Amino acid sequence: MTITNEQSKKFAAHTHINPSGIVKDISAADLIDQTFLAYNGARIREAAKLFSEKMLRGNGYVGLSLTGALTPAGLGKSCLIPLIRAGFIDWIVSTGANLYHDLHYGLDMKLYAGSPFLDDVDLHRKGLIRIYDIVFDSRVLFDTDAFVREVIQGPEFQRSMGSDEFHYLLGKYVSERDRKSNLKGDSLLATAYECGVPVFTSSPGDSSIGMNVAAMSLRNSKLQFDVNRDVNQTAAIVFEAKSTGHTSSVFILGGGSPKNFVLQTEPHIQEVMGLQERGHDYFLQCTDARPDTGGLSGATPSEAVSWGKVDPDKLPDCVVAYVDSTIALPLITAYCLARAKPRQLKRLYDQRDALLTRLRQEYLKVCPNT
């Protein structure tokens, strides 16, 4: 069929679906560009391009939210650490569970691929723990707990602090242990410490790390989490990005509390503090939840616009890929590492006090008596 110029104009904004056959040595990035052309495959391609071509452009600020048991599956080591070291992730909000299980890798403990169909009663008798199709010895938990309790007894922990400072100090101990033991540096927390990437948790008590902190409080530990500081500190990062002419992007893996925490920075700036802002510039989410059941927790990018979480002018650039994060994250990581140049680390943790001071000063100018 011959296509006329007039007919071609109708499809000027669309990509012709005409892929070549897949060859045996094709790279992950080329596979995505050439064959992920429709349905959620196309959403993965759009997500990868959004991240590599727009979110990272102009030294934009990228915040990551992390839910689901991704670190025990090895995705901290395989994906998140390379993204951090490349300068592609500037700050993180995670469930405490992901950070706790990350410690197993940092402490050189072993996790194994199993099956979701194992006999859990038999596993319990053998002292084994199962996370879906991941299995490990229960001593991994006990030894990780012991490490956390030992570390937080140190004098630098005997005070109130933001969760970013707590994770920075915890990561320092893991990093030092790895260095002394000549380990490879497989911990997300240790890498974040080394690269100055602040790591927050939106629910500090909701994990084994939080349980160990709570237990030590019964032994007169003075460690407490300053949630107010976390709320203001995350908002300060976003405000710094936007007030200095940079973009602010969110990369959301899953949903839940970390998703809301990374997104609520904009309503906190606009609605609560009364500062002029328009919302995050770029929104990228990988999820298997649905908005009609309430499972998206903050729901779609268009709904986020109504809250001021996302800049309405940037809504066409938002991408939601309804794909399991264990599939999407390795593909997006491989694509970005192939297509985007490494960026200089922002080391936002090192600037935490200055960023918070600037936010406070702007807030007091707008609302001096409230």
CA distance 249 to 263: 10
Strand (E) or helix (H) holding 163: helix 163-181
309 labelled catalytic: yes
Burial class (CB in 10 A: 0-12, 13-18, 19+), 315: middle
Strands (E), the chain: 61-66, 91-94, 112-113, 128-131, 134-137, 160-161, 199-201, 224-225, 248-253, 282-286, 319-321
| From 49, 242, 259, 309, active-site residue | 309
Main-chain phi, psi angles of 84, to 5 degrees: -65, -50
Q: Check the CA dihedral 297-300-301-303 and report its sign.
A: negative
Q: How many residues does the chain have?
A: 370
Main-chain phi, psi angles of 363, to 5 degrees: -65, -40
CA distance 172 to 179: 10
Whether 225 contacts 163, CB under 8 Å: yes
CA nearest 198: which of 166, 224, 160, 221? 166
Main-chain phi, psi angles of 73, to 5 degrees: -80, 0
CA distance 326 to 357: 38
Characterise 291 by phi-psi region: left (phi > 0), alpha (psi -120 to 50), beta (else).
alpha
| β-bridge partners, 61 | 248
Both tokens assigned to 30: 């080329």
Residues annotated as part of the active site: 309
